[in-house]
Amino acid sequence: MIPADFLPPALGPQRTFALVAGVERYDISHRWNLRGPARDALRFAHWLTGPAQVPPGNLRLLLSPLDEPEALDWPDSPAMASLRAAYRPATEENVKAALLDELPQCDGDLLWIFWAGHGYLGPRQELMLPCADARPSQIRHLNLDSALRWWRTDLVKHRSFPLQAALVDSCRVDAPRDARLNFGSTDYGGGNSVPGRRQFRLYASREGEAAQNDAERGAGRFTEALLTELGPRSVLESVSGLPAAARSIHRTFQELRERGEGWQLPQFLVDRDWDACSFLDDDLTALAPPRAARLDQQAWDGLGELFEGRELPRCAYEAYAWAFKAAGCTTPVGGGLSGDGLLEVVQDLDERQGGRGGMPLAVPFVRFLADRAGTAGDAAWAGRLTDWVHTTRERLVLPVLPPPPPPPRTTVVHVALEPPPDGGPGFRARMWLSGERTEQIWESEGAPVRMDTVREELLRQLVLFGAAPAGGGEAGPWTRGGVDRIEFHVPYELLDTDFDQWPVPRGPAGRHRALGLLHQVVVRCPQERADTRAEWRTSWRWLCTRGGRHPEAVRVVQEAEVTDALGMELAERPAPACVLAHTTAAPHSGLLEAVLEGGVPVAVWRRGGGVPASPLLDLLAPAGPDGRPDPGALDVLALPARVREVRREAALRAAQQPAREDQLVLLWDDPDDMPGFRSLA
């Protein structure tokens, strides 16, 4: 409880005002619709006008329910009947009118803001709450952070509303970076800050996390817990007890996780007490269940020595994600590492702490790094990391860790083609096989060879490595599972060649299948990367440290964007790491030059130019909340497999509906996987 003399002396129901909003239906798409927020808003309004005894005229109720308003379960009371006649749809115009025009003119001591619906974080981490009239071209929304800044200024009556509480039952995940979903920029400005105004915020989720909605019961889990705490409390009791209620809500969800019943639920972030202090850090040990241990100074000293001079390894995001799994926690929504250095990542993990078994998240992270360092041949560093894990576990009395999963096994045939030094016909060719180890398996000798010769030799090698020995012979190292991917290292002029369409004998009666239906097939052009090697490697490493997914990882390039300046624009930042060509012109008409000049390691286009019947983003990316393809959900590191799936799906439809969706080319230049590359000249 906060001291009674802290509260305004006249605080009571008559001087309490509220904006209460519940948004279930969105104009943008039926896929955005969700059931529950309107009922949650009604229940909060019922508490305000019931136990809290706030006059209904002090409330601004905004509802956009899925069903007809008459179908809602309106509480039976005169106050709620009055609100039933006065509520408005939760459009941006009505939200701004209520929050920025009407309520600031009232003479009150306490403002409640309750919002239930979708929520997204903008580029500056401001919380954007979409309104019912959100459309793809303009996602109209309430910028809550900007609105709360506005409410602290002298644009609100002096000496009015010294206490302001925002309670938000929404997700706080990053806003989609699709150009077709335009949130725009919303800032309400403001005047001069007024000293003495205090704001309390309680969100249903932390940054990057989703909030749980029980659609079957028509209730948000956060609102359910909140109303349980408020119960029969009056205005005075609810205000003075709000920090304690927030602690109790936080503890409830912690206990769910302790019992293993709430791992998919969001963690709570309680922002500030009325005195602007982070009260969850104040003597919580007696209030909440025991939390995981944190690293001690000795552990940090050891990590400082272990990580000195070390860049983020390629497996850093895999280690990060596995740390949450090993500790029994849910990986944060959105993916990606929290920093550009190993110590920054460990610091983030240590601040998040761990799960039910008391395991600090940093320990399984280092355990994973040790395992992969040993697999990669860095035995010395692997040993030092393992020693750190062992001594830290013993010192902090931590449970035993399960072994990390083994690295994925991918068997790849690399086919390198180079024109002869004299510029004559044919190619100098060589092939490697890489997986558990890398070895050269064939090289053209003497005169340059024709492309048909390369194809025939590749088919012969695929037969050799795709079949197990007969009888009781000893299995060779390359006979398990055959070849997963074929990578063609080719000159710039051959990037659009139809390697994936090469016919491969398959089954009886002389049947053939396209190479790209049986294997992942990609093209590469590493020899054109010499001038942009730094940008190329930086972009790939950026992609790996985000697990292959990020709202900025993929860029769809339109026809008008293919200019002489595109390459320099792509080179300015590590993102994007993947370009999808939404162009009709042939790829050599400027697009590929820009991709290579920009250091972009991955690109997809339609062979010969021309957009497929379904745009590339529709073909490759999963749908987002609005039903549209979400670039941030596209796993770029899994594109070789996804492109093969698209080719197979197109082949299955070809008899009924001929299409060229299988004529996709995937440029896949992994700078860390360049087996034996050198000039064949």
pLDDT of residue 493: 92
Comparing CA positions, the residue from 286, 288, 293 lying closest to residue 267 is 288
Predicted local distance difference test score (pLDDT) of residue 2: 46
Tens of pLDDT, residues 336-354: 676 778 988 888 888 776 6
Please tell me the predicted confidence (pLDDT) of residue 418: 92
Of the chain, the percentage scoring pLDDT greater than 70 comes to 83
In terms of average pLDDT, the best of 545-549, 560-564, 614-618, 658-662 is 560-564
| pLDDT value of residue 192 | 82
Q: What is the pTM of this model?
A: 0.59
**Is 366 in contact with 303 (CB distance < 8 Å)?**
yes
* Average pLDDT of the residues of the chain: 83
Q: What is the pLDDT of residue 662?
A: 67
What pLDDT score was predicted for residue 552?
87
Going by pLDDT thresholds of 50, 70 and 90, the confidence category of residue 468 is very low
Tell me if 26 sits within 8 A of 134, measured CB to CB: yes
Nearest to 177 by CA among 628, 514, 591: 628
Residue range 394-420, pLDDT digits in tens: 998 888 888 999 888 889 999 999 999
Amino acid at 333: V
pLDDT greater than 90 at residue 370: yes
pLDDT at 469: 33
Question: Which two tokens mark 165?
Answer: 């509480």
Alpha-carbon gap, residue 362 to 324, rounded angstroms: 9
**What integer is the mean pLDDT of 165-179?**
80
Of 211 and 111, the structure prediction assigns the larger pLDDT to: 111
pLDDT over threshold 50, residue 579:
yes
Give the pLDDT score at 625: 55
Report pLDDT for 78.
94
- For CA atoms 199, 200, 203, 207, the dihedral sign is positive
- For 508-521, what is the mean pLDDT? 88
Q: Which two tokens stand for residue 621?
A: 């990316």
Distance, CA of 437 to CA of 484 (rounded, Å): 15
| The pLDDT value given to residue 220 | 66
pLDDT of residue 473 exceeding 60? no
Residue 624, helix vs strand vs coil: coil
- 254, 289 contact by CB (below 8 A): yes
* Per-residue burial over 283-307, b = 16 or more CB atoms within 10 Å of its CB, e = otherwise: eeeeebeeebbbbeeebeebbeebb
Cα–Cα dist 370/123, whole Å: 35
CA separation for the pair 485, 522 (Å, rounded)? 8
3-state secondary structure of 190: coil
